[in-house]
């Protein structure tokens, strides 16, 4: 479809942290730095790990907990170094079919919510079953990239 795509993601490991009781914007900021310290060597092997994209944020309706995650690079998927910060953990996300809507510009929590609502409406109208109680935001660009930015919202197919 021109307004979304259906992707199949394989099982993969992500390094994540949950920020509770903050705004989404503040949770993203705090979560990003906790994960950035992990890839800068705050892990059991004191290993620097390449930054990957996307940076995702799990948004659950009616919930003020946000799970921020970095994709673990392919070369570390088999055995990522364990975090030394107890707030940071490695999680394995199972293979899944995901509905994705892409958009440009600087994405705010409001813009992500708006795009998620557009995608949800399209999926409902087309009779596509999906998990409506949560979505992921996915950001692909450094804050220093000014043009041709790429952002996504993801709903998991039922």
| Calculated CA dihedral for residues 103, 106, 108, 110, nearest 10 degrees | -50
Enumerate domains of the chain plus CATH numbers. 5-156 (3.20.80.10)
Q: Is the pLDDT of residue 144 over 90?
A: no
How far apart are the C-alpha atoms of 12 and 43, rounded to whole Å?
Answer: 19
The full 3-state SS of 30-48, as one line of letters, equals: HHHHHHHHHHCCCECCCCC
pTM of the model: 0.96
Mean pLDDT computed over 117-134: 98
In this prediction, residue 2 has a pLDDT band, given cuts at 50, 70 and 90, of confident
In this prediction, residue 17 has a pLDDT band, given cuts at 50, 70 and 90, of very high
**Buried (b) or exposed (e) across 111-135, using 16+ Cβ within 10 A?**
ebeebbeebbeebeeeebebeeeeb
Pairing of strands 134-139, 151-156: antiparallel
Mean pLDDT computed over 16-29: 96
Q: Is the pLDDT of residue 44 over 90?
A: yes
The strand pairing partners of 8, in sequence order, are 97
Kindly report, residue by residue over 95-106, the tens digit of the pLDDT: 999 999 999 999
Q: Is the pLDDT of residue 107 over 80?
A: yes
In this prediction, residue 68 has a pLDDT band, given cuts at 50, 70 and 90, of very high
């Amino acid at each position: 479809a021109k307004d979304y795509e259906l992707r199949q993601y394989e099982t993969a490991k992500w390094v994540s942290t949950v920020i509770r009781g903050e705004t989404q914007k503040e949770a993203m900021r705090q979560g990003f730095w906790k994960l950035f310290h992990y890839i800068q060597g705050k892990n059991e092997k004191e290993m620097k790990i390449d930054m990957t994209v996307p940076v995702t944020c799990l948004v659950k309706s009616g919930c003020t907990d946000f799970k921020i995650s970095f994709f673990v690079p392919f070369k570390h998927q088999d055995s990522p170094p364990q975090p030394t910060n107890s707030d940071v953990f490695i999680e394995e996300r199972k293979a899944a079919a995901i509905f994705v809507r892409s958009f440009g510009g600087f994405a705010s929590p409001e813009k992500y919510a708006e795009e998620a609502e557009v995608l949800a409406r399209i999926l409902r109208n087309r009779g596509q079953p999906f998990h409506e109680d949560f979505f992921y935001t996915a950001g692909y660009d450094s804050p220093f990239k000014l043009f041709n930015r790429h952002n996504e919202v993801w709903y998991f197919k039922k």
